Amino acid sequence: MSGVSISPQTLARTLGQDLEEVAQIGATGRGGISRFAWTDELAQAYAWVAGELEALGLVAGVDQAGNLIARWEVDGGDEGAVMAASHLDTVPNGGRFDGVLGVLGALEAVRILRRRGFEPARPIWIGSFMDEEGTRFGAALFGSRAFAGHDVSASLAATDAEGVTVSEAIAARGMDPARVGEAFVAPSLSAYLELHVEQGPVLDSAGERLGIVESITGVLGFHVIVRGEANHAGATPTDARRDALVGASKMVLALRERAREHSELRATVGRISTSPGAITVVPGECRFTVDLRPSQPEVVAPTIAWLRAMVAEVAASEGLEAEVVSDYELAPTMMDPRVVAALAAAAADEGVEPVRMWSGAGHDAMVIAPHAPTGMVFVPSVGGISHSPHEWTETADCELGARVLAGAIERLAG
Ligand SMILES: [Zn+2]
């Protein structure tokens, strides 16, 4: 592919300009952006990005799952491609960086590599995965799941608020939902890279500019049922009560202590209800959810064992019965040491000592990781704000992230 002629204007564009332009596509007039799966707004953003990548000599197309993939092919190269991607869809009235930065940062990385006259030994793919957020259909990570060979047939039947199914939305764009399986090409990657805004306060509050992700959190979902005895709020003496909510409250506090003592764990009780739920009745039953986010695989089993033991112990001490029900269990995803090393070396070239961290949010990268060596790089979210029009990352930090991406691609595809 040498000898590609690229116009000086194309090479002179900046990431800041790109972010500004793409932010106009789907702008809500309320300061944010709405670009949902399979909509005209998303198609417009795809076309814009594809145009820029084609001007840089890549060949862009949309696969059968609606993923935009632009390929920088190499002569005689049948080696695994190095891919850098993220997503261009947003939450309702979302920000201009979540996902978008990973795609436009990858575009900027290609520009940097073209300016350097880089000749890759492996193909380089730049991508945007369909419906990472799951806003419209509740079928999050649709594109990356299809790309990684998951069975997405249940997601094809999911409906939006108007009752339109994913299948119908695909057909409305002139594509065939029966061919979604053809999007499964993840095994042909030799590495996958994703630049993303942190979406949390860790980097910003420490005054750090760059994070390298070592793992993406697992998600363990439970609900706990605590049973005591409903009784009269006035006539039942305090010591004679079997108050299910009092027991549950002790359990909630124990969860917070556990997370305080274990930095590789986060614990949240997000929903709680009592029965009979009357102002004048001691709660006879209490149900609550537990969301546990372990960052390391070895934390999972001890945490689950601890949860069960803690609930039993608190229940016994309060004269209650309790049950822990597991609803789902997604293991933490480890990033690949070789890809992490490539990102760290690229950061060192920029004179930056990155923070080693874990991602508390899910990303397309965790879906790709079982098929290809994967790494992620984070730049700060000012104030830790995300999924909001107030989402902000300094342009200089976005540019740093893109240069690190370029440096890592150079190492992995060179
Ligand atoms: Zn995202």
pLDDT for res 309: 98
CA-nearest of 294, 303, 308 to 264 is 294
CA of 247 to the centre of ligand 1 (A): 38
C-alpha 186 – ligand 1 centre gap (Å): 19
3-state secondary structure string, 86-130?
ECCCCCCCECCCCCHHHHHHHHHHHHHHHHCCCCCCCCEEEEECC
> Using an 8 Å Cβ cutoff, are 175 and 342 in contact?
no
How far apart CA 218 and CA 287 sit, in angstroms, is 23
Q: How far is the CA of 396 from the centre of ligand 1 (A)?
A: 20
| Residue 324: domain span | 219-330
Specify the pLDDT at position 1. 46
Q: What is the pLDDT along the chain (414 residues), one digit of tens a residue?
A: 456 789 999 999 999 999 999 999 999 999 999 999 999 999 999 999 999 999 999 999 999 999 999 999 998 767 899 999 999 999 999 999 999 999 999 999 999 999 999 999 999 999 999 999 999 998 899 999 999 999 999 999 999 999 999 999 999 999 999 999 999 999 999 999 999 999 999 999 999 999 999 999 999 999 999 999 999 999 999 999 999 999 999 999 999 999 999 999 999 999 999 999 999 999 999 999 999 999 999 999 999 999 999 999 999 999 999 999 998 888 899 999 999 999 999 999 999 999 999 998 889 999 999 999 999 999 999 999 999 999 999 999 999 999 999 999 999 999
pLDDT over 70, % of the chain: 99
CA of 392 to the centre of ligand 1 (A): 14
Query: How many angstroms separate the CA atoms of 69 and 86, rounded?
Result: 11
* Ligand 1 centroid, distance to 278 Cα (angstroms): 42
Residue 188 C-alpha to ligand 1 middle, in angstroms? 23
For 199: left if phi > 0, alpha if psi spans -120 to 50, otherwise beta; the answer is left
CA 365 to centroid of ligand 1, rounded, Å: 10
CA angle 104, 106, 107 (to 5 degrees): 60
- CATH number, domain of 224, equals 3.30.70.360
377 shares its domain with 297: no
- Domain assignment present for residue 250? The answer is yes
- Same domain, yes or no: 59 and 145: yes
Q: Which residues contact 63 (CB under 8 A, 6 or more apart)?
A: 69, 147, 182, 183, 185
What is the CA(286)–ligand 1 centre distance, in A?
35
Distance in Å, CA 315 to ligand 1 centroid: 40
Same domain? 342 vs 325: no
Domain boundary among 330, 346, 367: 330
- Residues 351 and 284 both lie in one domain: no
Q: How far is the CA of 377 from the centre of ligand 1 (A)?
A: 12
How far away, in angstroms, is 334 Cα from ligand 1 center?
18
Task: Give residue 152 CA to ligand 1 midpoint distance, Å.
Answer: 20
Q: Tell me, yes or no, whether 3 lies in a domain.
A: no
Q: Who contacts 348 (Cβ-Cβ below 8 Å, separation ≥6)?
A: none
Q: What average pLDDT is seen over the chain? A: 96
Looking at the 3D structure of the chain, how many domains does it have? 2
Residue 135 CA, chain-centre distance (Å), reads: 13
Q: Looking at the domain assignment, is residue 1 inside a domain?
A: no
Same-domain pairing of 288 and 149: no
Are 60 and 124 part of one and the same domain?
yes
Separation of 389 CA from ligand 1 center, angstroms?
Answer: 14
